[in-house]
Amino acid sequence: MNRELIEEFLRYLSNEKNFSPHTLRAYRRDLEDFLKFLGNKPITEVELSDLRAFIVTLRKTVSPRTVARKLSAIKSLYRYLMKHKGPVDTRLLALASPKLSKELPRVLTVDEAVGLIESPLEDHFISLRDRVALELLYGAGLRASELCGLRLPDINLQVRLLRVRGKGRKERLVPLGRKAKEAISKYLPEREKFLQRLGRSSDYLLLNRFGGPLSTRSLQRIVQKYALKVGLSGVHPHVLRHSFATHLLESGADLRSIQEMLGHSRLATTERYTHLDFGHLARVYDTAHPRALAKKPECDKD
């Protein structure tokens, strides 16, 4: 019975809420962990003490952020059950998530980002593909799943626009930089030759060595490979997305425009992604605030 309810809930998230396959896999993993903890106890009979015991167990092995994510998935399940299946213990929905430290994600400098993007040097299919991937992660601020899901009909090189499907399958238009356009234009002929050699066809932009769509895990490995090549550690696709947003803001772009390009539904999410260091804020103040711009009084000349 428990597994049937989980499957029904996941179908609801897919069909009614338009959750991405990546998000659905994460929900499934988190809810299956909860099922293992419950054993034979029906989900509909879970009490607050059960959920608290599960959280205590988690805290011994995983980070507070992981605990918060799993608790969020469980609460979503019980909100669904309460709405569609009848009463549940409402105290389950009120259980507070662990407090998370507000660590600022890493941001590359402009020189680091450019060095990373330009590190694929060869003209063969794999190197050209990797250059396109890096260009779009940093030049368009795409999520890894958005980039791996990008198809040829989504790309308009003439007007330099991408049609991107983000979270909840929401579509948005993202500008395509000139460097990214050049990289894609150089890659597409080699991509076609590669598919012809394999005797396959595909409309996905980024392909793996078998001609299928590139996975997000493979994309992570690609980013790490070239980051290590240029002497950078701890770099993953989201670092490039965050660097994209931060560099735009530091160059004078407004938050609303950045929000649109990133595909955030709330401006508060964009503000979290686009932190600025104090030195930059001080420079903005010195060049923009009326009191900072006020001329110093000239000394009287005797």
Known active-site residue 264: yes
Q: Report the candidate in 300, 283, 301 with the shortest Cα–Cα distance to residue 292.
A: 283
For 38, 58, 74, 239, 251, the CA distances from 291, given in Å and listed in that order, are: 62, 52, 52, 36, 22
For 37, 174, 242, 286, the CA distances from 179, given in Å and listed in that order, are: 51, 14, 19, 33
Known active-site residue 84: no
Known active-site residue 129: no
Known active-site residue 238: yes
Q: What is the amino acid identity at position 105?
A: P
Contact by Cβ (8 Å): 219, 234: no
Catalytic residue among 75, 167, 172, 181: 167
Known active-site residue 296: no
Catalytic residue among 143, 165, 242, 247: 143
Catalytic residue among 70, 129, 242, 264: 264
Cα–Cα distance measured from residue 109 to residue 247, given in angstroms and rounded to the nearest whole number? 8
Known active-site residue 187: no
DSSP letter string, 154-211: GEETTTTEEEEE-GGG-EEEEE--HHHHHHHHHHHHHHHHHHHHHT----BSSB-TTS
Take residue 143 and report the two structure tokens written for it: 């999520």
Burial of residue 210 (number of CB atoms within 10 Å: 0-12, 13-18, 19+): exposed
For 82, 119, 231, the CA distances from 132, given in Å and listed in that order, are: 46, 12, 20
For 7, 18, 60, 92, the CA distances from 48, given in Å and listed in that order, are: 23, 30, 19, 6
Cα–Cα distance measured from residue 220 to residue 228, given in angstroms and rounded to the nearest whole number? 12
Catalytic residue among 129, 241, 242, 247: 241
Catalytic residue among 163, 238, 272, 275: 238
The set of catalytic residues is 143, 167, 238, 241, 264, 273
